[in-house]
Each structure stands twice: as C-alpha cells, then as structure tokens.
Amino acid sequence: MSEIRFPLPDVGEGLTEAEIVQWRVAPGDRIALDQVFVEIETAKSLVELPSAFEGTIAELLVEEGQTVDVGTPILVIRTDAARGISAEPAPSAPAADAVPALAVESEGAGAVLVGHGSSGPTRSRRRRHPSPGGAHEHLVPPSPTDVPATSASAAAAPAGGASVGIGEPARPAERADDGMPVIAKPPIRKLAKDLGVDLSRVTPTGPIGDVTRDDVIREASQASVFRNIQTPELPADRETRIPVKGVRKVIAQTMVQSAYSAPHVSVFVDVDATRTMEYIKRLKASPDFAGVKVSPLLIMAKAMIWAARRNPTANAQWTDEEIIVKHYVNLGIAAATPRGLIVPNVKEAQAMSMVELATALEQLTLTAREGKTQPAEMQGGTITITNIGVFGMDTGTPILNTGEVAIVALGTIKQKPWVVDGEVRPRYVTTIGGSFDHRVVDGDVASRFLADVASIIEEPALLLD
C-alpha cells in the first residue's frame, strides 16, 4: 500500500488556477473507479473530476472555496492498485511504488485531465466498476421498455420522491392536494429535478393523466415568477462583501476587454412576430417535434443562421492582422445561471435541421442551468443571441462576446397595437437589437443583417426558400 498526492489538473483550457467548489469525498472514504470526487470551477464552468484509481482518501489538502494553481496537490490517496497514469508521489511513499492517478504529465505543460489535452500511449485497459455514491448515481435510468425486466442494476432516485429501478415500473409519488399518484416517465422526473419542480404540485395534461414536459416547464416558469416577486427582509449586516473570483472575475475581465477593445455600434428594429407565434404553435402540434421544446428562440436561431449566410462579415473575427470570415456557425446562447453569465454555443448549427437545432438548444439550456457546461462548449463561438425577453425586457445594447463581431438581443414578445393594411390591430410584437464590432461590420451590413433577422421573425416561411 502506498500514498500519492493528486495534483490539480489542467482540464484542457490552458488555465492556471481553479477554485475547489465542493468535495464529494472525506478522509477515510473509499474511492472507486470513475467516481466523481470533487467539483472545481474555472473559466465560468463547473467541472467534475472523476477518479481513475481505487483506494482510500487519506487527506484533503485544500479547503472548499480556496483557489489553487494547476499542479498543486489537493488530496492524498492511499491505494494498493495501480490503475491510472502518473501522479505526484507523497514524500512518505517510494517513487517506485507511486500509484498512477487521474492526471498525466505532458511535455512542456502541467498535469492534464484524462480525456483532454495531450495524451500518450495507453498502458492498459481499465475495467469499469459501478460504485454507490460515484459518478454513476447521476445517470437517469432508461424507461422500463428499454431494459429487460430481469435487470439487477442499481436503482436511481428521481425527483418527486419515487424510487425508480431499471427494469421495473416507476412507483409514483402521491400528489400533494388529493393523494393521487403522480405519473411521470423517468426523463420527465429528471427534468423536474433539474428545474427544482415538485411533481406533486404539477397539474398533469398527458393523455393518461401523466405529467408532460410542457407541464414541468410551465410550473418551473410560474415558480420562477413567484420567487421573483417575493421581497426578502434586509440582512442584519449593513454590507455584504463578495470576493471577486471564479465566474464573476472572468465575467468582469471579459466584459471590460470586449467593451474597450471593440468599438460597438448598435441598431434596433420593431418586428411583428405574429406569424412566428403561429408557426411555433404548429410545430408544437407536429409529431416530429413530440417531446422537444419549441420556443421563439428556435426561430430566432434559424433567422441568425440565415442572416449570417446572407451577410458573411457579421459572422467573423478580428485579429488586428486580418479578418477571418467563418463559413460555419457556432451559435452562442447567452445563459443566466445561478453562478453567473455564460455563453455556450451550438457547434455547426448551420448544418442542423429544425428538430436537431431545437434539441441542441434545449440540451444546452438544461446543462447551463445545472452548472455543468464544460469549457469546450463555450469555446469557438462565431455569433451570439441573448434572449432578454425571458426577463420581460423589450430591448437592450448587448456587449459582444469576446472574439465575435455580432450579437443580437431578442426582446419580449407581447401583444401591442400594430397597423396592418391601414387598420390598427392587436399583434404580437417584439424588438430586436444588435451590437456589432464596427472595425469589421459597417453600418449598412449591420442594418441589412438585422433586417434579415427581422424578416424571418415576421415571415418564417422564408426559411423554406
């Protein structure tokens, strides 16, 4: 048996430090292969570090909330089986007995997380073992029709208080108001858990009295509104001091860099979005979109892709030496999360069908809300949407995402008086605002780009051209 010191790895971003957010283990705990043992925060994302070894936790060397440099030892593991790649041996252990851990040493760099960055030849195949309390406890069991009834796999506990085992039907929780059982499929229970929705308080609209995806999302939206209108009591302390670190530090640096390096120019246009709302209603009723969230953001995303193809310099990058025009669209979606603002992007969005794009947007949103967006998902963006309409805002002047030259804000869509054929009628109206890097995008291009986006919102049928 020997001890090793596990160094904080570079998770493939090239960053130099990270904050220890939450330990998933304690001294004396057994740690299993692939078990998540710590959450770290860096570059505006939470990253879970899985274990590439088995053993016992001897000591935690860093406290939660502390920021440490890459390569700094963060815990000591006592183990007797070499299962990973090289790690820094503890002083008390002979170098020859040092047990491989999760990090690898790459030439000219520090430790790199397995699966990211540099890689070397594989020494041996690792056999995966399920472990209670490990990373596998976060997996959602498939529906009973997907797995034989004889399966002896461990059960997972979904939201709503029901215990669901793989290969057995869900045991529904009782509804809070009338004691009736809650009927919901495992994916719906996971969605409810992700959004913090109590299934016993959701009114089901499914064909057999089951809770649907729309039911959960509607309940989550209502709960969010009620939380927003609650007025908390003033704290006893006269001031609250918040350290500038982690997400907030990165946001501040990025916003300052963008605002003071790229000369912003902004334009706005009011749009009749009535046909978009009608189109969304038809898509929701289509069997092709069953189980997929459809919202104005989907049409906006398609409009951005279409407008970028017609105005290529809006989908570009400035490098001082040259302008790089991108002939692909990695569409960024600004997302407000409990940990701060992040901008993950949908890779190769221009090649996606409407259903594929809707699915990708939904997954991106759920992952961001869970705080599990990975660094790679926020890199390589080419153009961005910020949907401020979800907060009831009409418009705004968004700041460019660093490295991009265009960002468009979608305002709230609501009924307003609108002149149609010389008559004032109630129509669904929104305001679209765009900010552009004036070094790359001239005023006429910015105006044409935003006009193209507006034309799709006014008439989605143009997407069929």
Q: Which residues are catalytic?
A: 438
For residue 395 the two structure tokens come to: 């418009």
DSSP 8-state assignment for residue 152: -
Whole-angstrom distance, CA of residue 5 vs CA of residue 75: 6
Three-state secondary structure call for residue 415: strand
- Length in residues, the chain: 465
Whole-angstrom distance, CA of residue 349 vs CA of residue 360: 9
For residue 275 the two structure tokens come to: 């046909």
CB 344 within 8 A of CB 368: yes
CB 103 within 8 A of CB 115: no
DSSP 8-state assignment for residue 156: B
CB 29 within 8 A of CB 58: no
Half-sphere exposure of 373 (CA within 13 A, CB side): 34
Residue with tokens 């960024």, as numbered in its chain: 332
Q: Distance from first CA to last CA of the chain, Å, rounded?
A: 68
Residue with tokens 């949907």, as numbered in its chain: 387
Q: Which of 227, 247, 447, 243 is nearest to 338 (CA)?
A: 247
